Amino acid sequence: MLDIKELRKDPGGFEIKLKSKDPDTSLSPLLAKDEKIRQLKTQVEEYKSRRNASSKDIGQKKQKGEDVSQFMKDLSHLSDSIAKIDQEIAQMEADLLHALAVLPNIPMDDVPISPSPKDNVCIKEWGEKPVFDFPFKNHLELNEKLHLFDFERAAKLSGSGWPVYINLGARLEWALLNYMLDTHRKNGFIQVMPPLLVRPEIMFGSAHLPKFESQLFKIRDEDFQLYLIPTSESALNGLHYDEMLSEDVLPLKYTAYTPCFRREAGAAGSQERGLIRTHQFNKVEMFCLTEPSDSARVYEEMLASAEEVLQGLELHYRNMLLTTGDMSFAAAKTIDIEVWLPGQNRYYEVSSVSNCTDFQARRSQIRYRKKNEKPQFVHTLNGSGLATSRLMVALLENNQQADGSVLVPKVLQRYLEEEIVSLKPTAK
């Protein structure tokens, strides 16, 4: 969430930056409401001062035996006015909070300004696209003989958009998860196993509420009001909700594996079939809390750790600096790592590394204190490290052989408990 005090100082400058992410943004109604609240607060403080003085005066008159009935009526009317204004202020402050809560984060100065993802900037490429001397297949065609996933039985269980991993598919997925967690732990990240359901205030703190309510799965009954996490970022951000941290513990670098749940799952077109976009997928997340002066350095560490995973898997990828219009709601800067999927003939994002500055920390009231200084909000950063569903597609499609088998990257073979160097087609 943005700081209302900063918005007051330069509303024009902030509105220009906000419009680069959301062209419909207008700060005028919000600032008008803020000004009205401040006027009402000044008025109610004057009334309260008058009430206190009147109460004191009435007490003195009573001691002298004077008639105070009219004074008491006036005091009652004044108290009624105060209560009415206080109620009005409370409602207006709730409205102001909501108006602030739906404003996106301010983009950093080095972020390209454009509403279109077509203007994202490629800042790095690693490796090369595979060249096949045979008709290559997409991951669904490969799966017809490899039998790694069962989408038909998954649909019987939960409907479309929910995968079931079978036998070597499940084992390869588990190998991927362990490889990624090992990589991030080696790079100084602390592993966490958070709950998969969190409270509404935790979702608000991570900026998934109120804007993305319709994209979330939730439980609502007389006992529970909880949301299934769309990413472990939500839970990791909530670990230090409403806490005052010592500067000595920063930066805090976390990594977590969780299933992730999202209502939208693309079903339009062959490119979005299979594992490309599903309601449930596995992801290893990185999440960091830092001092503002340290967030740029930690950002590069997160990006390097995500890239190390892909380099170990020997997958061709590129890093894309996202435009203002393509960044997430909470991000001030985002670099997407996109891996090449031959079966789709395009790049797909497998990691998105974002610096959210103090946007989430302000919503979550996560602060730190330096000696003899006022508390400050931390910076939060998040990055996929990585999402496995598209990564699985990349492994299968990039490592396929002419006979329909798929080579298993060396870094994963040690996690498979036996010497499995390739996935071989089998009869069903």
The enclosing domain of 243 has a CATH number of 3.30.930.10
Same domain, 393 and 292: yes
Q: Select from 51, 76, 101 the last residue of a domain.
A: 101
Using CB atoms within 10 A of its CB, is residue 101 exposed (0-12), middle (13-18) or buried (19+)?
middle
Residues 6+ apart with CB under 8 A from 300: none
Task: Look up the domain containing 263 and give its range.
Answer: 117-423
Is 196 within 8 Å of 206 (Cβ atoms)?
A: no
Measured in degrees and rounded to the nearest 5, phi and psi for residue 120 equal -60, 150
pLDDT in tens, 189-237: 999 999 999 999 999 999 999 999 999 999 999 999 999 999 999 999 9
Using CB atoms within 10 A of its CB, is residue 212 exposed (0-12), middle (13-18) or buried (19+)?
middle
Residue appearing with tokens 């490969």: 142
Q: How far apart are CA 179 and CA 313, in angstroms?
A: 10
The number of folded domains in the chain is: 2
Same domain, 147 and 74: no
Same domain, 287 and 357: yes
The answer to whether residue 57 scores a pLDDT higher than 70 is: yes
pLDDT in tens, 263-300: 975 444 444 578 988 999 999 999 999 999 999 999 99
Instruction: For the chain, give the percent of residues with pLDDT over 70.
Output: 98
Provide the 8-state DSSP code for 149. B
Tally of helices (H runs) and strands (E runs) in the chain: 13, 16
Q: Which residues are catalytic?
A: 262, 277, 349, 352, 390
Q: Select from 36, 69, 101 the last residue of a domain.
A: 101
Q: How far apart are CA 130 and CA 122, in angstroms?
A: 19
Count of beta carbons in the 10 Å neighbourhood of residue 191: 13
pLDDT in tens, 309-321: 999 999 999 999 9
